[in-house]
Structure formats: C-alpha cells, structure tokens
Amino acid sequence: MKRLNLILVFVIFLLSASAVHADQRYEIAFPDLPSYKTLKCDFHMHTVFSDGQVWPTVRVDEAARQGLDAIAISDHIEYQPHKDDVSTNHNRPYELAVHRARMLDVLLIKAGEITRDTPPGHFNAIFLSDVNPLDTEDFVEVFKRAAKQGAFVFWNHQGWKGEEKGSWRDVHTTLYDGKLFQGMEVCNENRYFPTAHKWCLEKNLTMMGDSDIHTPDLRTKSLPEDHRTLTLVFAKKRTIPAIKEALQAGRTAAWFKQQLIGRKEFLAPLFDKCVTVECPHLRTKDAVFTKIRNDCDLDIVLKRTAGPGPVQIDLPARSVSLLKVDTKTPDEPLELKYSAINFIIAPGKCLDVMLKVPGK
C-alpha cells in the first residue's frame, strides 16, 4: 500500500509538472513607448469552425505560451468546410475560447473573416458583438452591419493572388469613403505586401501584421528567427477598449520575420527604447570603447550613413555588444549616423538613427 501511495504521488507530481509546463508563458521583448504599452497581438487565425485544424481553446494556449497579449479568432463567415461536424453559429469559437483566455490572461476579441472572391478580397472584422448578422450576401451591406457594431475592419493579404487581382477598385473606394474599413495587412504569414504598405501611408490606414494560422502552432516560444507574424499595438492600457482605440488611431507596427514595419513616428521611439549606448569604459588617444545594448527580440542591423563608426553594427536580440569607434577627439561626445535596415518605414526605405556616445 505504501509503495502504491508513493507511485500515485509520483504520478500526480508528473502531471502537475506537465500542467505547469503547458501553462508556461515566454514573454516577447519589445519595450513600451512613452505613454504607451507595447502589446503583442495576432488578429487573424482560424479553427475547425472554418478551415483551420484546431479547437478554439488551442489557439488561446498557443498565444499564451508564446507571449501574446491579445488575439482574435477570425473564422471565415462564408466558408465552413467542417459544418457537418461543428456548429454554424459564427459566435461559437469565441464562446468556447473566452473562459480559457481569461484563465491565461489573453485578451480575446470577437471577430470574423468576410470571405469573398479576390477581387474584392478578404476582410477581418474585429471587436464585434455578434458575428452572425455579417452572414449576408450583399458585400457592402456586410461592412455596414459591422460598422453598426463599432467594428474595426481591415483588408487581408491584399496581393496574395497577384497585384492585378489585388488592385484598388471602385468597391474599395466605396468602402474607404464610407469609413467602412480602416486598416490593411502589410504582412500576412510569410508574405510582405509593399502595395498595401504604400496604401496605408497614402490613405492613413492602420498597418497590420498577422499569422493567418490554420495548422497547429508547435512553437514553444517566440524567437527572433522563428515567430509568428504579429501586430505590435501601442495602447494606453492592456485592455480590449485600449487596443481598439490604438488601432483606430493607427498606432501599430508589424513584426515580420527579422523586420519591424511601421510609421516613422512609432518606429523611431521604439528604436530609441530598444537600443542604449553606454558611457565609454575606455578612451585611448584615437578611439573610444563602449557597450551597446539591444533589449528587444529583433536582431538589429545598422549600416553607417555618414561620419565615424564601424561600417556595420550587428546587435543580436537581447544582447550587449562591444563597440569601438575610431576618433581623434575621444573625450568629446560622438554622434554616429546609421540606417536601421530592418526598421522599415516605407517600401524600400529604412529608419535613419543616431547613436550618441557620451563625452568624458
């Protein structure tokens, strides 16, 4: 009996350890901006309630484990290949997942994907109160019904079927002029859409980056070289209403592969919070030696544009690097001019930055 009890205790310990591991959260490192919290979000994903391969609660578990703050399960409204096996109530994925999301401190946003032929394309409506009214044939009417619920709507993967099919058409002008959609995915899964990026800048649309995930996400945690495409939202608080306000105001950036894509007004202060140049620890007659920190989960690459400093500086994620700068005035402050080549502020344009080395 004693031996049996020991075995039971051991089994319970293993199960408990497994449960703790399953609920382990690995935070993503991108610093807050002045006055804003940097929230890691994915607003485009699928479950078995459309053409995905997992139950809604699995999406919550994946997001919690990988350090996301907020997600939207955006199953297709018009396309449900598993409808013989699951409910056709479009609110059901949210209903099944919301309790698990509260347990794991993931903000879950009710959403649906408006799925029509391309053109005119696919759109996600998020912050809905009821997805079912959007299940109607008239294309523009769908957007009007979303607007009545105060939804934020964005155009998904604009160029996924090529630039001709992803071109801006009269119906898009109708939606845009009526303020019926407010954003575009500049990145979706493994693809970047420079045309969408260009239109976001020209038309003041919010830039989004999302995973559009259908299969199980087996990542244990988000890594600089292996992470899902995400939207960084610069919100006043870590709440759903604050996320909605930030999206409406366009305070976002996309984390796509080894790049951050967004407006200069947000990427510039984000860079400044990520990168810190320390006071030099050694000054010689013709050089200074200092350390430079990278406190984010992006491997930052800097290329010199003018003046002193190495031709290229590589700053691995969450690292401290040694920096030598040749100079004839080692006691004076130095200004090093660089381009952060993976901070993208427009198609083909990188963020210019300045590293300031303190004087003696």
Examine the fold and report which residue of 240, 262, 284 is the final residue of a domain before the chain moves on: 262
| 317 and 204 together in one domain | no
Same domain, 225 and 313: no
Residue 8 lies inside a defined structural domain of this protein: no
* Model confidence pLDDT, tens digit, residues 52-110: 999 999 999 999 999 999 999 999 999 999 999 999 999 999 999 999 999 999 999 99
Predicted local distance difference test score (pLDDT) of residue 333: 96
Give yes or no: residues 179 and 65 share one domain.
yes
Domain contains 13 = no
Name the pLDDT band for 359 (thresholds 50, 70, 90). Answer: very high
Do 166 and 279 have their domain in common?
no
- pTM for this structure? 0.92
Question: Can you give the CATH number for the domain in which 320 is found?
Answer: 2.60.40.3090
2: in domain:
no
226 and 313 fall within a common domain: no
Per-residue confidence (pLDDT) for residue 20, from 0 to 100: 38
Indicate the number of domains in the chain. 2
- Do residues 89 and 160 share a domain? yes
303 & 221 share domain = no
Whether residues 88 and 198 share a domain: the answer is yes
- What value does the mean pLDDT take over residues 100-122? 97
pLDDT tens digits along 260-272: 999 999 999 999 9
If asked whether residues 35 and 149 sit together in one domain, one would say: yes
Residue 230 sits in the same domain as residue 273 = no
Q: Are residues 204 and 122 in the same domain?
A: yes
pLDDT per residue as tens digits for the range 316-331: 999 999 999 999 999 9
Q: Domain limits at 276?
A: 269-342+350-357
Task: Label each residue of the chain as H, E or C.
Answer: CHHHHHHHHHHHHHHHHHHHHHCCCCCCCCCCECCEEEEEEECCECCCCCCCCCCHHHHHHHHHHCCCCEEEECCECCCCCCCCCCCCCCCHHHHHHHHHHHHCCCEEEEEEEEECCCCCCEEEEECCCCCHHHCCCCHHHHHHHHHHCCCEEEECCCCCCCCCCCCCCHHHHHHHHCCCCCEEEEEECCEECHHHHHHHHHHCCEEEEECCECCCCCCCCCECCECCCEEEEEECCCCHHHHHHHHHHCCEEEEECCEEEECHHHHHHHHHHHEEECCCCEEECCEEEEEEEECCCCCEEEEEEECCCCCEEEECCCEEEEEEEECCCCCCCEEEEEEEEEEEEECCEEEEEEEEECCC
CATH number for the domain that contains residue 152? 3.20.20.140
